[in-house]
Structure 1
Amino acid sequence: MEANPDEPHGAAVVADGFGLKGPRGWVFREVGLRAEPGSLVAIEGPSGSGRTCLLLALTGRMKAHEGHAEVAGLRLPRKMAAVRRISALGPVPGVSDLDPALTVDEHLRERALLQRRYDGSVRALVRRPAERAAATRARIDEALAAAGLDRDALPKSGRTSVRDLERLEALRLSVALALIGRPRVLALDDTDLKLSDADRAEAWALLRSVADAGTTVLAVCSEAPEGALRITTTADAGEEPTGPRAEVADAADDPDDADAAVTDGGAPDARSAGDTPAAQATEATEATDSTDDTDDTENTVEEGESDAFAETGRA
């Protein structure tokens, strides 16, 4: 089905009393958020404050236990499979890691083939091979341009291995891979990790450009950039929720800019608790296969397996 040109490409993200409980207590709780399509949302906080779990829950990869959220009008946690279909992960350690042994071109070809296999239309499948190849190249070039990655500028062009990429180059590649699917929501973890001040500024400029093009961006970071809708998480164990505001970064003096609030019940996130985000996301997806509403007939075990395969790019 063709998209309505009058509708924004990105997805609105709304949360109300959203919370997730892990084996050691609440990972995050009482999250409130309202982001318009094409927003840049920075999930800010220290490591161990539940940032990654919140990111995965908002993209349908972990099941929340209280409250609800909506992504493009799809209610979570009941419509997790549908939200996964319209969202894509950039770099998320333990979930969507790049393979250091593969080259840039190999990653791009693999993702394009998987995209065509799992999300291609019937019309695309009956095209002549030359037409399919041209469409694939065009989609890859479009994603690379949006991510600002110039293959010719790499040490060995497209034959450069991932292990030889700089941190910012690897980030751009991960974003390009995610954008091949033309998602309505792009989610990234550890956006500013191990980046210099100059590279951090370039990374946020990249994500702003993606958001300005219409895709809603959710980015985990240690410090939110100016102008982003900021959600702050804390890792103060044992404290009662206090409701710090989510606001436009560097606009905290104006109470009208406080669009949402997020609190943390003090439990560490998946990595600090000894469970990887990949493991918790898998458990959440398996649990949801039996709890999604009965109207979501496409949410089957087979779909969950293909979602996981398409997300990582390999079995």
Structure 2
Amino acid sequence: MQGVSVDDDAPGLAVAARGLGLKGPRGWAFRGIDIDAEPGALIAITGPSGSGRTCLLLALTGRMRPTEGSTTVGGHRLPRGMAALRRVSALAHVPGVTDLDPALTVGEHLRERALLQRRFGDGLRSLLRPRAERAATAAGRVDAALAAAGLDLRDLSKGPRTAVRDLERLEALRLSVALALIGRPGLLGVDDADLKLADAERAETWALLRSLTESGTTVVAVCSEAPEDAVTVTTAGDRTTGDRTTGPGTPAEGDETPGDESTPDETTHDESTDDAKEAADDALAETGRS
């Protein structure tokens, strides 16, 4: 089932950026990014491998510190508001950041995330509630997140006891989204949304992400090809706009070119080079990702 709101009191976050750029130890991950998206928008980040798509995703969710430009997400001005933005945003399916443990079961992942949310995400007041009330609230959140992510545990081979390594690629993506939704974020970032998916699976993925925006959550997704109804941002080139759809720009003289080994890139991609992965790790460390 899709289109189920995780939290009606947590509206999506508007995203506004002008000249957003991030420079790591080996050059520019991206720069010249302009975005204008309303709350509950579907934002698609496209571009060639090595052009900084995942770095942009992490910057828009408060996990990487921008180097230049003016950016406001949900009223939080970056970089000053990064910590506050992290509390109202979440990540799913980001290699090297939100990896699922293949040895754990689906149920174990869900219980662990619910426990972490209850201990660290809900504040002191929630910890003072009776144990039975806390447990019921946690169970309700998990059920709502699973429904919103379109993951029915009864359809899995062993139900909640199904190991992550036995999940299909789309099932693993849905589980990662569900785990992120337990925190009831106003903005959800999803990496590699359509990587290695068949056409029918890609259609299901975009239907899922679109259903989340219909319930009020702003979704930012890295992809190889954006749907027509998305606010599309392209990370190729020195000047990129996010006003519905754009094409790649032309790198300015002296800028790092997309895909160059000095450009911080996505945390992990099958088609990425080891140099790009190392550059991303360096950039994340320098900018204080959490």
TM > 0.5 fold call: yes
Equivalent pairs: percent with the same residue?
60
1:246 aligns with 2:258: no
Residue 225 of structure 1 is matched in structure 2 by 227
Question: In the alignment, which residue of structure 2 is the partner of 1:166?
Answer: 168
| Contact 1:31 1:263 survives alignment (8 Å) | no
Encode CA deviations 1:7-51: one digit per residue, 9 max, x unaligned: 870111111111011222211111111111000000011211110
User: For residues 275 and 43 of structure 1, do their structure 2 counterparts lie closer, same or farther at Cα, with a shift above 3 Å needed?
Assistant: same
1:125 is matched with 127
Once the two structures are superposed, what CA deviation does each residue of 1:57-92 show, in whole Å capped at 9, x if it has no partner?
A: 111111111112111111111111111111100110
Superposition RMSD in Å: 2.2
The count of corresponding residues between Structure 1 and Structure 2 is 268
Structure 1: unaligned runs, 5 residues or longer: 253-257, 287-307, 309-315
1:104 to 99, 103, 106: 106
Q: Secondary structure at the match of 2:94?
A: coil
How big is the shift at 1:128? 1.8
Alignment of structure 1 residues 1-315 onto 2, 5 Å: 9-234=11-236, 241=238, 243-249=239-245, 265=255, 266=257, 267=260, 268-271=263-266, 272=273, 273-275=276-278, 277=280, 280-285=283-288, 308=290
What amino acid is aligned across from residue 101 of structure 1 in structure 2? Answer: A
Give, as a single letter, the amino acid of the residue that structure 2 aligns with 1:9.
Answer: P
- Whole-Å Cα distance in 1 between the matches of residues 48 and 141 of structure 2? 36
Q: What TM-score, normalized to structure 2?
A: 0.86
Change (3 A) 1:262 1:161: farther
Secondary structure at the residue paired with 1:248? coil
| CA drift at 1:280 | 3.2
Asked if 1 retains the 8 angstrom alpha-carbon contact of 2:92 and 2:176, the reply is yes
Kept after mapping to 1: 8 A contact 2:63/2:86: yes
5+ residue gaps, structure 2 = 1-7, 267-272
**How far off its partner does 1:193 sit?**
0.3
Alpha-carbon distance in structure 2 between the residues aligned to 1:207 and 1:228: 11
> Is the contact between residue 270 and residue 280 of structure 1 (CA under 8 Å) also seen in structure 2?
no
- Contact 1:8/1:37 (<8 A) preserved: no
CA distance in 1, matches of 2:75, 2:249: 21
